[in-house]
């Protein structure tokens, strides 16, 4: 129950809440576990670049700015980034699962 997934739209100008809901229903997304969100492009892109650090490119969130990444970021309850993982690499996903287990163990020890 402590593990949640959060996906930000990289094309918020076409990904309305209704569109994301339709996608989630088609893919069988469980709302309580995985949130698909959209919003202001500049804010989303700033989060990717400055908070989550999942995009190496520079940009201003403008019309021609584009981020599309397969990266996962593991963020703890204190909003600290704990790791980065290539979502297209099975070994990286296995490492993510192990790191989640370790983080949960550390949280219990506190």
Do both 63 and 74 map to the same domain? no
**Domain ranges, residue 76:** 70-110
Q: How far apart are CA 65 and CA 63, in angstroms?
A: 6
Do both 60 and 7 map to the same domain? yes
Do both 13 and 26 map to the same domain? yes
Reported as a single tens digit per residue, the pLDDT across 4-55 is 888 877 788 888 999 999 999 999 999 899 988 888 877 877 777 776 666 6
Do both 93 and 52 map to the same domain? no
Do both 33 and 77 map to the same domain? no
Do both 16 and 26 map to the same domain? yes
Chain-centroid distance of CA 98 in Å reads 18
State how many domains the chain has: 2
Do both 97 and 81 map to the same domain? yes
**Torsion on CA atoms 10, 15, 19, 24, rounded to nearest 10:** 20
Which one-letter DSSP state was computed for residue 81? E
The percent of residues in the chain predicted with pLDDT above 90, rounded, is 24
Pairwise pLDDT comparison (92 vs 44), residue with the higher score: 92
Do both 31 and 76 map to the same domain? no
pTM reported for the whole predicted model: 0.67
CA-based nearest residue to 100, from 55, 33, 44: 33
């Amino acid at each position: 129950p402590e593990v949640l997934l959060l996906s930000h739209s990289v094309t918020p100008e076409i990904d309305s809440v209704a569109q994301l809901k339709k996608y989630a229903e088609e893919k069988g997304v469980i709302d309580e576990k995985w949130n698909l969100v959209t919003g202001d492009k500049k804010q989303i892109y700033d989060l990717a670049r400055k908070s989550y650090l999942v995009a190496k490119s520079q940009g201003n969130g403008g019309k021609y700015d584009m981020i599309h990444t397969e990266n996962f970021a593991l963020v703890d309850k204190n909003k600290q980034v704990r790791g980065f993982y290539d979502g297209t690499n099975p070994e990286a996903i296995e490492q993510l699962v192990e790191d989640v287990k370790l983080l949960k163990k550390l949280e219990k020890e506190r």
